[in-house]
Structure 1
Amino acid sequence: MNRIVRASGRFMPTVNNIRMSSGQLGDLGSGAGKGGGGGGSIREAGGSFGKMEAAREEEYFYKQQRKQLEQLKDGLNNEISFHEEQIKHHKEAINRHKEKVANIEKE
């Protein structure tokens, strides 16, 4: 779950309790040992190809996260619709029972 925690006098996003800060990483795709390495030969070499690959990777994960959020939103909307339908059925049942009670009291 994404959270914001206060560290060193500023707020930084975290994902599953892992602190992320661009200041600690350096430039992504700038070569091995600078925060952009270890992601394959293109990224390890650095330069404009490494930066482009890092940007593509960031875009991919951004799109994946957006897709997951959309699926979560759709799922929650489906649950809301289900529960609203259940409320409708329960209200109808309550009204039927109230009518039965009223009919019994008339007799």
Structure 2
Amino acid sequence: LGTATLRRAGSGGTESHQASCAVLSRREKEREQLAALRKHHEEEIDHHKKEIERLQKEIERHKYKIKKLKDDD
């Protein structure tokens, strides 16, 4: 085996290592993006739940007004 052959064989390991690091980095980034997306959706759900509660209170308020008007007749 000559020096050039050993260099080629050795560099393959480095390229493979770099490729592995790139894959791991990409997976970590995807994991972070999914976590951020999950958090965003959870915040949206909380917002909509609060909006539903607010609207339900409005409905009850209007029902009370209607009942009061009927009782006044």
TM range (shorter): 0.7 to 0.9
Q: Which residue in the other structure is 2:24 paired with?
A: 59
Of Structure 1 and Structure 2, the greater helix share is in 2
Aligned pair count?
A: 63
Structure 1 segments unaligned to the other structure (5+ residues): 1-44
Q: TM-score, normalised by structure 1?
A: 0.57
| 1:68 shift after superposition | 0.5
Deviations, residues 52-84 of structure 1 (Å, cap 9, x unaligned): 110000000000011111111100110000000
Hey, which bits of structure 1, 4+ residues long, moved more than 4 A? none
* Pairing 1:72–2:37 present: yes
Percent of paired sites with the same residue = 24
Q: What is the CA distance between 1:48 and its match in structure 2? A: 1.1
Q: 2: CA distance between counterparts of 1:72 and 1:99?
A: 41
Q: Does 1:101 align with 2:42?
A: no
The aligned amino acid for 1:65 is: E
Instruction: Quote the offset at 1:46 in angstroms.
Output: 4.3
Root mean square deviation of aligned Cα: 1.2
Mapped to 2, the partners of 1:60 and 1:46 lie a distance apart of 21
**Structure 2 stretches of 5 or more lacking a match?**
1-9
Compare the two structures and name the one with the higher strand fraction. 1
Partner letter of residue 80 of structure 1?
I
**Distance in 2 of aligned mates of 1:80 and 1:64:** 24
Q: Which has the larger radius of gyration?
A: 2
Aligned mate of 1:84, from 49, 54, 60: 49
Higher relative contact order (CA 8 A, sep 6+): 1
